[in-house]
Chain A
Amino acid sequence: MATLTAPVAERGLLARPIEPTGVWSWLTTVDAKRIGILYGVTAFIFFLIGGTEALVMRTQLAVPDSRLVGPGIFNAMFTMHGTTMIFLVVMPLSVAFFNYIVPLQIGARDVAFPRLNAFSYWVFLSGAVLMHLSFVIGQVPDTGWFSYANLTERAYSPSAGVDFWVVGLQVLGIASLAGAFNFLVTIINLRAPGLSLMRMPLFTWTTFITSILMVLAFPVITVALVELMFDRLFGTNFFNTAQGADPILWQHLFWVFGHPEVYILILPAMGVVSDVLPVFSRKPLFGYPFMVYAVASIAFLSFTVWAHHMFTTGLGPIATSFFTASTMLIAVPTGIKVFNWISTVYGGSISLKTPALFALGFIAMFTIGGLSGVMHASPPVDTQHQDTYFVVAHFHYVLFGGSIFGLFSGIYFWFPKITGRMLDEKIGTLHFWLMLIGFNLTFGPMHFLGVDGMPRRIFTYPAEMGWGTWNLVATIGAYIIGLSILVFIVNVFKSLRSGDRAGADPWDGRTLEWTTSSPPPHYNFAEIPVVHARDDFWVQKYPDLAGGHGGEIIASAPVAVAAAVGHDEHVYVHLPDPSYWPLITASGIFVAGFGLLFFMLLLPVGLFVVLFGTVGWSTEPVNG
């Protein structure tokens, strides 16, 4: 009991900040919803940057023998494009939803460790900025997003580019780990009464499992990065072939992380789709328990398949066969998910509003990417496809057709909840179709290019190879995607200014986030809800449907909403005050990273700030 603790007069090093608005309030916020918005906006800005890098590549590749940009710039472009899209776009965009939506979905007022949550964001931003400082000094990472050793050793990559990549990723890893711990504990410990595991919305489930994947996968790449950094800074021999080191070690470490990572990228999007489809089909998610088991088995299996990225390194037939089998196996739970989604639509009443369009697009496109994945899983076939555009096609179908479509579905779905305004349906539909067409024009032909033997990561190709036509089509497609993004941006600004008011429950939702106002008050729920069923809100709205029969929408439904939402002005819920410490501690990490890259003397300064921040943090009165 709180009262048992002797209330020693506690005073922190700094008084807790109090401003409710303005820049300082954002810098010191510990409110998961605000942090979610920070994550989301930052990720979107990086999406524009990563997308612009892609457009540079596509423009260069549009015609054969092009010399628009040289190999130096091109190599930097694909490295930063891949790294940005994965670590600075899809992951933080997912984390934005974890922050905003998960506490709402589980009926909590905040996450378990609000300050740690703010810390994650500031560290994430530090890592992203550190990596992009490489553009300022003109030595951009240029060894690819998986930066295979020993090309990354100083002997072969003397420029500082790799250093920026290594330090940036390490800092980003700290942010991911901190965030993952937080969501793990939040979902384990902060569920509303009655919200048992098997009643959790699927998005909460995928957040949970994704967090576990992050907790287990990120240490592995951290070790790989530390080893590489030591090689470059202190002359160790982890990947120094002159001392007999085996560069394949890097590949093992990277892909032990890297394959779970691709599921870290897709599972949140799958969660979004699993929550969106039932709402727009007015029908519960088909096979809920199987969906949950499937997510769990995908996560488990994802740690057993890493060497399918290494089929051409000479693993030997036994290992190769093992990794073939495990990789094939992972298609089974994924198939279960696809079939359950389709069955959710089947027999329902699917409304083709934008969130649903993107969710349906996700299923259609992800399946294509999954099938080409299975084709790679056959090692003899993969020796013809590895490092060609066939692989590039595969992973864009799962990453763009999957993750990005899924996350856009989430943006359209939850935008009203977050802003209180609806996104425009007409513009949204235009966005969807432009994006779907542009996407298929860009990445569909890459299958053909791959089969025609076009390697990836080449800055140009001779005309006699016959790859010109499809490359031109792909480039046109990429610009159509770019156009669709502009349409989306217009939609956001227009809707923020003059979009329709959303109300608490604009989509006839099923889960707890729709029971509170849009946007929710800072304490989320005046009264912590008590959950009695899966899709609790829906069951409350339509109690007569419990028997499983269909029916008509009944007039009483809106009343149920109003009752659930009702919160009055007198509510006073005390939440943790803002704090300076997350920002201070994170800035210490930034300074330390900056020191590693530019000026070693700053390293101890940064570490000292981290120490200072940690002490201040742990002695800050929690209940200021």
Chain B
Amino acid sequence: MATLRQKPGTIVLLALALAASGCTQWADPSLPETTVFPVSDSGGYIQDLYSLIFWMALVVFIGVEGFFLYAIVRYRRRAGDNRIPAQVHGNLRLEIAWTVLPSIVLLVITVPTIKTIFLQDTVPTASAAGGSPLTVEVTGHQWFWEFRYPELGAKVMTANEVHIPVGRTALFELRSADVIHSFWIPKMGGKMDAVPTRVNFMWFTPQETGEFYGQCVEFCGIQHADMRIRLFVDSPSAFQAWATRQAEDAASPTGAQARDGAAIFQRSACPACHTIRGTAARGTTGPDLTHVGGRATIAAGMLPNNYENLIRWVSDPQGVKIGSKMRYPNDVGPSPTEAALLAAYLQSLQ
């Protein structure tokens, strides 16, 4: 194929080959937020549809680009070529063909799409196979998530980390306390916006236990990047155990450090914004801290939850997460010793 030796053709082919090899690399199931290895029913429907559309698009892509490259290579002008080609103005039959054929392709995509839209629109009810869905009330805040479980009692409230049992449909009621956020756990399926003055719904039935990542995907201000979600899909018994613990009030601190920390907590600015059930702290601006010690991360997934990071956070939340709504009056926070005691107390809130 002497013609393909020509520079442009080769380079384009090379680029295509590179792109193709890239394609084989992106689909990595070990990535925490991959969208193409769903582990829920809802994610599965989407994935089926995505595969269909992806392959159709790939066929169109290869067909159109291939023919295009062929036309360029085949009909390119060589040096000294003075020929004027036949002056073809058009062809009605071809025009009809390339109106109808893409329409068919699009129809093949649109019909299952609309089917899936309606399939996913029926809010699951008690009669569904897996029993009644577990309702989780989600409220987006700048920049953290709040979760409540009406079924487990008015008290059960947590932040940024949400637990649900495997195999049971979870129904999320999405609200916002301030601006628009969007709730997304890629491996569980599509996202849905949390819009102030509205309530949106989203649901899925997780098929595997594990820890799944998600995050806010509607730009919501300076810390939009650090408004993450951790989803824990537990076995039913583990979920029950977790739920029972969450329903309890905060453990009274044991150990001198934690006790001192609790006292500092109560007399500092903290109670103005945070609730710790079983204590006088009733603030609602910030996350509920009743069981904060049991979380894997703090500050909406920014930092692993450990002693050092709690000290860092409590001493200087603006330094860790600039713009965060956790601000001390007159920007005066706890002293280093106070921060260490607070961290000990917070850790004890398992």
Contact = CB atoms under 8 A, between A and B. Distances in A.
Do A and B touch each other in the complex, judged by CB within 8 A?
Answer: yes
Interface of A: 70-72, 75, 142-144, 148, 150-151, 156-157, 241, 244-248, 281-284, 286-290, 312-314, 316-317, 320-321, 324-325, 328-329, 331-332, 335-336, 338-340, 342-343, 345-352, 360, 363-364, 367-368, 371-372, 374-375, 378-388, 433, 436-437, 440, 444-445, 447-448, 450-455, 457-461, 464-466, 470, 542, 545, 547-553
A382 B88 CA distance: 41
In this complex, the member of B36, B69, B72, B178 whose beta carbon has the largest number of chain A beta carbons within 10 angstroms is B72
A151 B323 contact: no
A284 B88 contact: yes
A351 B77 contact: yes
Contact of A379 (B88, B113, B223): B113
6 contacts: A324-B117, A343-B94, A371-B61, A385-B35, A549-B86, A551-B83
A11 to B, nearest CB: 55
A244 B197 contact: yes
Contacts, number: 305
Contacts of B215: 455
A367 B64 contact: yes
B130 interface: no
Nearest to A321: B114
Interface stretch (B44-52, B163-171, B252-260, B272-280): B44-52
Contact of A314 (B95, B114, B118, B195): B195
Interface in B163-186: 178-180, 182, 184, 186
Given A374-B109, A378-B53, A453-B33, 13 more contacts: A283-B86, A284-B89, A317-B117, A331-B106, A347-B88, A349-B81, A379-B117, A380-B49, A380-B116, A433-B11, A452-B31, A466-B31, A550-B84
Contact of A336 (B27, B64, B69, B98): B98
B179 A150 contact: yes
A87 B201 CA distance: 36
Interface SS of B by simple majority: mixed
A409 to B, nearest CB: 15
A344 B15 CA distance: 24
A312 B191 contact: yes
B28 interface: yes
A287 B97 CA distance: 13
B127 interface: no
B75 A452 contact: no
A545 B87 contact: yes
A156 B225 contact: no
Contacts of B113: 324, 378-381
Interface in B231-252: none
Contacts of A466: 28, 30-32
Given A348-B75, A349-B77, A335 B98 contact: yes
B223 A71 contact: yes
Given A313-B195, A383-B189, A383-B191, A335 B76 contact: no
Interface string B12-51: 1001000100110111101111111000000001100110
Nearest to B87: A548
Contacts of A464: 32
Contact of A375 (B54, B102, B180): B54
Contacts of A387: 182, 191, 217-219
Question: Which bracket fits the contact residues of B?
Answer: 35 or more
A513 B12 CA distance: 33
Nearest to B46: A380
Contacts of A336: 95, 98-99
Given A313-B195, A324-B113, A332-B99, A345 B87 contact: no
Nearest to B86: A550
Given A282-B84, A284-B87, A452-B35, A332 B102 contact: yes
Contacts of A379: 113, 117
A584 B83 CA distance: 55
A444 B22 contact: yes
B304 to A, nearest CB: 11
B336 interface: no
Nearest to A251: B180
A452 B33 contact: yes
Contact of B186 (A241, A382, A384, A545): A384
B173 to A, nearest CB: 12
Interface in B1-17: 8, 11-12, 15
B38 to A, nearest CB: 9
B185 to A, nearest CB: 10
A548 B90 CA distance: 11
A375 B189 contact: no
A148 B218 CA distance: 9
Nearest to B38: A384
A313 B194 CA distance: 8
Contact of A345 (B72, B216, B224): B72
Contact of B34 (A316, A329, A375, A451): A451
B110 interface: yes
Contacts of B125: none
A349 B178 contact: no
B204 to A, nearest CB: 11
B71 A75 contact: no
B90 A286 contact: yes
Given A72-B322, A349-B85, A548-B89, A151 B180 contact: yes
B222 A380 contact: no
